[in-house]
Structure 1
Amino acid sequence: MSSYLARLLKAQAASKRLISQLTKREGKLSTLLRRMGLQKWADTESTREISTTPVRMAEMADDMELATGIAKREMLLKEQGCGDPWGLGKILKRGSGRLNDPTQIPSAFDGRLVGCLCLDDRFAKWMWLEKGPPKRCECGHYFVLKQVPPV
């Protein structure tokens, strides 16, 4: 009982819920609350009513409504029938690879990481291909960056 009173005295404004719980438990508490100057809560002997509001069952928002930026553009492209908007599913085959006819690598940026599977190697040789003149791989093939619009 004293812990409840201590909580009441420490609080700047006693909560109605705490006081209503205390008044329901003890009849003697009402007189104590009147002595402390909390008459308006001491007189509340009635039970506390519960108010409810009807909950409307709403559907979850569609992913397209929530998406923004690149994710939304990617979803729009997939709806239009483009199954691979980033072009990651296809492997680019090397062209002739000569200096006057280099293999074109599409990119929306100024640089791209390219892996060349040279003649009898099991592992790709990786190189940074940047905007500008064609770049030569160790095996002798030339690659050039081709500008494409971003997704």
Structure 2
Amino acid sequence: MSALMRSSVQPVVKALASRSNVSVNTCRHFLWYGNKKEVRFPKDIDHATGEERLVRLAIAKGIKDPFDIQEQVRGPGTKENPNIIQTFEGTRLIGCKCEEESTTIKYMWLHLDEPKRCECGFWFKAVPARKFWEEVAGQ
């Protein structure tokens, strides 16, 4: 099948090569010998659109975890100094690994600005998340 395709494509490629500064190297590869400054390979960010593009721009700007989904190490977790959890909505479901060697996770719902205590004694508080897309949208 590839031999049939190669023989049907070659006349078209040779015709294109004779009209411009394109050189043909094997059956499907083009080498540009023109102005090399004009040729540029697109990067991943050039192909990305929508949410993926915003996340890539945020990471390039230095925001390592835009959606705050990576595992966090608990801080002091007292009532006066709770562990801060960012949320884009009014609530967020979090999981607490209460003991170091535990294989289970205790889940609980956090509501904005309402500190909540886990069964293990650590306190957590949900705060509004940083809207990274407003910072990187202009790029």
Q: What TM-score bracket applies, with the shorter chain setting the length?
A: 0.5 to 0.7
Match of 1:77, as an amino acid?
Answer: A
Higher share in strand: 2
Cα pair distance change 1:89/1:136, threshold 3 Å: closer
**Higher relative contact order (CA closer than 8 Å, sequence separation 6+):** 2
TM-score, normalised to structure 1, is 0.50
Distance 1:120 1:89, change over 3 A: closer
Runs of 4 or more above 6 Å deviation = none
1:78 equivalenced with 2:59 (yes/no): yes
Match of 2:97, as an amino acid? L
Q: In 1, are the aligned partners of 2:92 and 2:109 still within 8 Å (CA)?
A: yes
d(CA) in 2 for partners of 1:125, 1:101: 21
- The unaligned stretches of length 5 or more in structure 1 are 1-50
- Aligned equivalents of 1:59, 1:120: Cα separation in 2: 50
1:68-147 to 2 correspondence within 5 Å?
68-98=49-79, 100-119=80-99, 122=102, 123-147=104-128
Aligned residue pairs: how many?
Answer: 100
Per the normalisation by structure 2, the TM-score is 0.53
Query: How much identity, in percent, do the aligned residues show?
Result: 27
Greater C-alpha radius of gyration: 1
Which residue does the alignment assign to 2:5?
Answer: none
